[in-house]
Structure 1
């Protein structure tokens, strides 16, 4: 449900006050830090996946099964971390849950909302 104009003004005032009082904390709430953290986590998982491949190959060359199994498990764990980190990463311009934005963003209307609007317009046109 969108905010009323009064609520939007109040939110903007609160955000300005927060920026004036503690700009470092306010900028941390914008999500750039979280986006950087999740991106770094994905890169670390990819690097770990490559280490897992190296362990798997080294175990096969040395004919030590346990090293290959450890390599496979490292690959599996890093793949899971990369996928979950990628899904949880906020998109550019998106705010993480629980964080506020500087400017309110217009919400895209769903297909059903657009169909309902068209239906209402047709009913209004027929009635007048």
Structure 2
């Protein structure tokens, strides 16, 4: 569902404030990093999976070499796990899914200031209610 015009304006204001306060942090958060990391990880997993299929088939063709098929299966399994964990977690173990129910206590800092400003703007627009 797209954002309303008002929500889009507020989001733009928050982005400008973030860039003004900490441009290094804001540039580190720009969107392409996680997607590139995930895409690369999935490509590697698919390539490994194809190699695993080749080993599995090769072990079936060559007589008395069942261990090649077993290795192929293990490579396929490992690549599948590698792809799924790459999809669920970002770089350095950052979770891309929902946060756990009991989130750790946050440090006071920039995000608290942004939330306070957001609350003030919202209160000003609603008349303080």
Question: What TM-score, normalized by structure 1, do the two folds share?
Answer: 0.52
User: Which is bigger in relative contact order (C-alpha 8 A, separation at least 6)?
Assistant: 1
Q: What's 1:28 paired with? A: 28
The gaps in structure 2 that reach 5 residues or longer are 1-12, 91-95, 100-110, 116-129
Q: 1:88-123 deviations in whole A, cap 9, x for unaligned?
A: 46xxxxx888xx8xxx9xxxxxxxxxxxxxxxxxxx
Q: Report the CA distance between 1:40 and its aligned residue.
A: 0.8
Q: How many residues matched?
A: 84
Partner in structure 1 of residue 93 of structure 2: none
Root mean square deviation, CA, Å: 3.5
1:18 aligned residue = 22
Question: 1-side partners of 2:87 and 2:56: how far apart?
Answer: 25
Relative to structure 1, the CA distance from residue 28 to residue 47 in structure 2 (aligned partners, 3 Å threshold; closer, same or farther) is same
Q: Structure 1: which 5+ residue stretches go unaligned?
A: 1-8, 90-94, 105-128
Over alpha carbons, which structure has the higher Rg?
1
After TM superposition, give the deviation of residue 12 of structure 1 in Å.
5.1
Paired with 2:53 and 2:17, the residues of 1 have a C-alpha distance of 53
